[in-house]
């Protein structure tokens, strides 16, 4: 208190300084303070803005992938036509002719036949239409087949309705002409062509690099699902077992130190290195099949293990020692204490960690590229366990594959696939958060 | 027998052991649980574990050793003069394996009988054609020696598998029998089971070690092959990256420096973005923000860390790349490529913000409050306290955080694959497309790979370089962070 009285006395050499009115020095310092605070706010703002920008740019580019332009057409087909088409060498050509025939009749009904050249008009259809008709015909039993079909429109036509293709660009494009676009407009007016929700985007296979309109995520979704199953089945028991040992049983010695250092380093090893490991160990050495969800799952397992071990150890550590002491005091063995008491109490934390680990594995791309998952896969993998060895792709890999294609329509597909991927990640993370909220205990 | 059925049989045996042993234990105690040393279920577990663990252990070891032994045997059987001029023993062996595999598929699909696959002769059948029919494409016609080796290989694999099946199931049964004989009311089943479980736990913990060993050995092994074909000085200090895929070996120049330069340049720009933003965000969060603000802003920033890198890659490719080209590079006359070091660096910087901010946040929070109070008490403003007291005190930890972020940046793949480009260049212009170590690992190992040519094997040398660099950074960072934590505890 004696100091206080001293400050009231004027200091030698600075007699004008008052602690009430602001001097230029304090003003400067206060301004610096405000500036500093502003920088902090700006940094956080930048981060959040970047996140919003990122999400908006992906959503903006990808939402249209869920819409697709279709041409509704009733097709009449006799058994003779079917036999003829199946017997010929150019099967798709024959089916195309059948579509053309039906399309011509339809155009005549609408009174549009005069101003269009029918081969031009057939350009509105995707090549996938022939394959779809063939699929339906192969599955058909009652001849003659009369069915309403919803054929995919050509990717350029689809692009026209989504604003990607305009009359000007069509002028320069060898695969579409302005006349075809005008016809497409007329068909839309006649109700023959329309844009609806595109289930095919989620279910179809990625058939061909030249058919963006038919490209779907079917194989990728299955592949990712299979890999997640493998990762879950392997990482959860192994990760929990390893954590229990390290946290509850391990003596302090060189071996356990080595394991600890290893795990923390493995968690920071670049993911592509795990891809190299998978390629040389699982594929070259053990001769497991390339592009298979099995190998992908194993690689992702090794990659996710450190994450899960770290999360599990943290939640084991948060169980208070009094629980262990009580169990031991009542005569439980060390093993019984851990499995009957500690582990159930740590379970919510372990599950949360596992879900987050899985989410990380779901979004991983680089290691999967190296184990050959970039191949064009035309068939769905079969049911596990055999299906685990069939070639497949994964969601993020499918995005990469589509970005490497030259047709700009694939950019929309890739962004759409990312929306699906982010949706899954969102669901997983919300599940993790809810789980934590619901079961978390504070000791 | 296929692997899955062996596993099922072993599982059935151990389930059987579970029930049989439990009831035997009860029987030996005349149905009175109090007479048993352990709870009855422990006797069951003991039976199940004795059947399961040795059998599965044997299976794992066998699956690992069999291909090694067979490869060595078959490849030793191929006389030197049968290896063509332009080929190596390893290549011939991979042909042998591919043909053997093709024959397997042909038999499985019913295109060939087992007998026929064993007695096929190139003189009478066009093997390449037959295998092509079942979807196994061979690069060249099959030579009689290769086919014979492949058939020998298949025969040995068949014998090996039979022996393995018999042995594994035998061991499972033996384990069952052993447990059955051991089981009586005085047997300490719980202790035995707990020891068994402990061994399993140790095995699980050792997988981390195995993974590291696998990573190091797989890369060292292939990198050694690479350096036997390519002079190491040219690799580490070469300034030109120009692999040729036309002819095998020879003309390629595989100097790593341009790739390393690209990696460093991209990482540098990324850190230039991430470090100030991340650090200021962390300071604001820990020093100024109200709890409510923090509860919202911190998770939102951390969402950036949870977004898969492929999303950032696409963002770089379709949004940031064109933006930078149209508004910066072209007006300034610095180039017209959407792929550029700047694109990849900026986007990677965004990705790294939460890595820097979360860790720095923790570290700033760990600075004792007494230090702040001391500074504030001396009349310093809050920002002066942060700048002159908190940051210097937290500096080692922050450096650790930045090093960890740098190691992320160096190892990041998808952003640079989609954003940085594929042209290996030593250039200073940030709007120029350049390439990185990880991009080249991907491009050399995807598509057609030939594990005898230096163009493919170089990826392993790049991989081990990358591994060593990131490992070094991580170890250093963890060491610094740990030292720092101890300081204030």
* pLDDT bucket at B139, cuts 50 / 70 / 90: low
Asked if B215 lies within 8 A of A50 by C-beta distance, the reply is no
Residue A95 has pLDDT above 90, yes or no: no
CA atoms within 13 A on the CB side of B375: 19
* Among the partner residues B208, B411, B463, nearest to A263 by beta-carbon distance: B208
Closest-CA residue of chain B to A361? B308
DSSP label of A49: H
* pLDDT bucket at B406, cuts 50 / 70 / 90: very high
Tell me if B73 sits within 8 A of B105, measured CB to CB: no
B412 at interface of A, judged by CB pairs closer than 8 A:
yes
Reference A367, options A282, A285, A262; nearest CA is A282
The pLDDT > 70 percentage for chain B reads 88
Which pLDDT value is given to residue A1?
44
Which pLDDT value is given to residue A200?
84
Bond from prior residue into A385 cis (ω within 30 degrees of 0): yes
Choosing among B4, B74, B197, B208, which should be mutated to test the A contact, i.e. which has the most A CBs within 10 A? B208
Burial B233-255 (b: 16+ CB within 10 A, else e): eebeebeebebeeeebeeebebb
Bond from prior residue into A144 cis (ω within 30 degrees of 0): yes
Per-residue pLDDT tens for A408-418? Answer: 888 888 999 99
A282 at interface of B, judged by CB pairs closer than 8 A:
no
Using a CB-CB distance cutoff of 8 angstroms, which residues of chain A are in contact with residue B101?
287
Which two tokens mark B295?
């509860």
Per-residue pLDDT tens for B271-280? Answer: 999 999 999 9
Enter the ipTM. 0.88
CA distances for A301 relative to A30, B127, B287, angstroms: 53, 39, 39
* pLDDT bucket at B282, cuts 50 / 70 / 90: very high
Helix, strand, or coil (residue B406): helix
The pLDDT > 90 percentage for chain B reads 30
Choosing among A366, A411, A436, which should be mutated to test the B contact, i.e. which has the most B CBs within 10 A? A366
Reference B389, options B402, B400, B401, B379; nearest CA is B379
Strands (E), A80-174: 145-152
Residue B124 has pLDDT above 80, yes or no: no
Percent helix, percent strand, percent coil in chain A, to nearest 5: 70, 5, 25
Closest-CA residue of chain A to B65? A286
Query: Minimal Cα–Cα distance from B218 to chain A, Å?
Result: 6
Using a CB-CB distance cutoff of 8 angstroms, which residues of chain A are in contact with residue B384?
29, 32-33
Tell me if B147 sits within 8 A of B27, measured CB to CB: no
Strand pairing category for B253-254 and B241-242: antiparallel
* Helical residues (DSSP H) of A211-268, grouped into ranges: 218-244, 254-266
Helix, strand, or coil (residue B29): coil
Choosing among A309, A361, A365, A414, which should be mutated to test the B contact, i.e. which has the most B CBs within 10 A? A365
Residues contacting A408, CB < 8 A, separation 6+: A159, A164
Residues contacting B146, CB < 8 A, separation 6+: B92, B95, B96, B99
**Per the confidence metrics, is the pTM higher than 0.90?**
no
Residues 337-356 on A with a CB inside 8 Å of B are none
* Among the partner residues A37, A40, A422, nearest to B311 by beta-carbon distance: A422
A244 at interface of B, judged by CB pairs closer than 8 A:
yes
Asked if B441 lies within 8 A of A48 by C-beta distance, the reply is no
Average pLDDT over residues B429-434: 87
Burial of residue A334 (CB within 10 Å: 0-12, 13-18, 19+) is middle
Asked if A281 lies within 8 A of B218 by C-beta distance, the reply is yes
Residues 31-90 on B with a CB inside 8 Å of A are 63, 67
């Amino acid at each position: 208190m004696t100091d206080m009285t001293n400050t009231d006395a004027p200091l030698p050499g600075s007699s004008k300084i008052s602690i009430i009115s602001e001097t230029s020095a304090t003003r400067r310092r206060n301004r610096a303070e405000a500036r500093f605070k502003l920088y902090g706010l700006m940094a956080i703002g930048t981060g959040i803005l970047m996140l919003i920008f990122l999400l908006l740019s992906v959503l903006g580019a990808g939402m249209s992938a869920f819409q697709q332009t279709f041409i509704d057409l009733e097709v009449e087909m006799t058994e003779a036509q079917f036999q003829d088409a199946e017997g010929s060498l150019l099967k798709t050509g024959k089916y195309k002719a059948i579509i053309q025939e039906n399309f011509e009749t339809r155009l005549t009904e609408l009174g549009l036949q005069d101003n269009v050249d029918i081969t031009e008009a057939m350009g509105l259809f995707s090549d996938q239409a022939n394959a779809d008709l063939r699929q339906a015909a192969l599955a058909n039993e009652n001849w003659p087949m009369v069915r309403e079909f919803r054929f995919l429109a050509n990717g350029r036509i689809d692009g026209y309705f989504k604003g990607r293709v305009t009359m000007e660009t069509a002028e320069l494009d060898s695969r579409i002409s302005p006349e075809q676009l005008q016809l497409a407009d007329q068909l839309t007016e006649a109700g023959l062509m329309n844009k609806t929700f595109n289930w095919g985007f989620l279910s179809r296979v990625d058939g061909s690099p030249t058919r963006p309109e038919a490209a779907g995520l079917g194989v990728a979704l299955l592949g990712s699902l299979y890999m997640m199953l493998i990762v879950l089945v392997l990482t959860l028991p192994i990760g929990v077992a390893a954590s229990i040992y390290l946290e509850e049983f391990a003596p302090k010695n060189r071996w356990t130190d080595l394991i600890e250092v290893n795990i923390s380093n493995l968690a920071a090893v670049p993911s592509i290195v795990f891809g190299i490991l998978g390629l040389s160990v699982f594929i070259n050495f053990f001769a497991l099949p390339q592009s298979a969800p099995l190998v992908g799952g194993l690689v992702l397992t090794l990659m996710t293990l450190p994450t899960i071990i770290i999360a599990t150890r943290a939640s084991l550590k948060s169980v208070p020692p009094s629980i262990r002491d009580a169990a031991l005091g009542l005569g439980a063995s060390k093993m019984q204490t851990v499995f009957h008491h500690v582990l159930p109490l740590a379970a919510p934390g372990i599950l949360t960690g596992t879900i987050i680990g899985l989410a990380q594995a779901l979004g991983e791309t680089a290691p999967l590229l190296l184990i050959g998952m970039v191949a064009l896969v035309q068939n769905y993998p079969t049911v596990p366990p055999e299906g685990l060895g069939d070639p497949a792709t994964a969601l993020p890999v499918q995005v990469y594959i589509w970005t490497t294609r030259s047709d700009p329509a694939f950019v929309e597909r890739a962004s759409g696939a990312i929306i699906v991927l982010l949706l899954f990640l969102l669901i997983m993370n919300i599940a993790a958060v809810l789980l934590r909220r619901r079961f978390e205990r504070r000791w | 027998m296929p692997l899955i059925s062996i596993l099922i049989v072993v599982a059935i045996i151990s389930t059987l052991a579970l029930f049989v042993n439990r009831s035997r234990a009860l029987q030996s105690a005349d149905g009175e649980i109090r007479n048993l040393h352990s709870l009855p279920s422990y006797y069951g577990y003991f039976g199940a574990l004795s059947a399961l663990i040795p059998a599965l252990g044997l299976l794992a070891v066998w699956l690992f050793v069999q291909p090694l032994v067979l490869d060595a045997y078959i490849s030793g059987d191929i006389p030197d003069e049968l290896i063509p001029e332009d080929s190596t023993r390893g290549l011939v062996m991979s042909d042998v394996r591919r043909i053997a595999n093709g024959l397997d598929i042909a038999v499985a699909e019913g295109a060939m009988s087992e007998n026929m696959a064993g007695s096929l002769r190139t003189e009478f059948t066009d093997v390449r054609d037959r295998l092509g029919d079942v979807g196994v494409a061979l690069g060249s016609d099959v030579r009689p020696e290769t086919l014979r080796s492949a058939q020998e290989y298949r025969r040995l694999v068949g014998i090996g598998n039979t022996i393995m099946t018999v042995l594994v199931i035998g061991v499972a049964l033996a384990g069952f029998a052993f447990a059955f004989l051991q089981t009586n009311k005085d047997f300490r089943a719980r202790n035995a089971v707990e020891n068994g479980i402990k061994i399993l736990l140790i095995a699980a913990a050792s997988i981390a070690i195995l993974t590291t060993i696998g990573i190091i050995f797989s890369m060292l092994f292939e990198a050694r092959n690479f350096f036997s074909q390519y002079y190491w000085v040219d690799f580490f200090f070469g300034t030109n990256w120009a692999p040729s895929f036309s002819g095998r070996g020879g003309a390629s120049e595989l100097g790593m420096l341009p790739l390393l330069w690209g990696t460093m340049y991209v990482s540098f720009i990324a850190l230039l973005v991430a470090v100030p933003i991340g650090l200021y965000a962390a300071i604001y969060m820990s020093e100024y923000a109200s709890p409510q603000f923090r509860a919202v802003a911190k998770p939102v920033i951390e969402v950036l860390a949870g977004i898969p890198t492929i999303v950032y890659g696409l963002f770089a490719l379709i949004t940031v790349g064109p933006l930078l080209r149209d508004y910066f590079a072209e007006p300034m006359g610095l180039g017209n490529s959407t792929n550029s070091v700047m694109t990849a660096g900026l986007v990677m910087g965004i990705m790294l913000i939460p890595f820097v901010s979360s860790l720095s946040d923790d570290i700033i929070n760990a600075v004792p409050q007494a230090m702040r109070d001391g500074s504030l008490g001396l009349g310093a403003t809050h920002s002066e306290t942060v700048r002159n007291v908190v940051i210097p005190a937290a500096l080692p930890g922050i450096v650790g955080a930045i090093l960890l972020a740098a190691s992320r940046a160096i190892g990041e793949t998808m952003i640079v694959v989609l954003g940085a480009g594929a042209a290996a260049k030593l250039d200073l212009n940030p709007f120029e497309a350049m390439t990185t170590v990880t991009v080249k690992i991907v491009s050399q190992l995807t598509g057609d790979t030939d594990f005898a040519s230096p163009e493919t094997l170089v990826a392993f040398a790049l991989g081990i370089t990358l591994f060593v660099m990131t490992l070094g950074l991580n170890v250093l960072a963890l060491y610094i962070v740990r030292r720092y934590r101890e300081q204030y505890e």
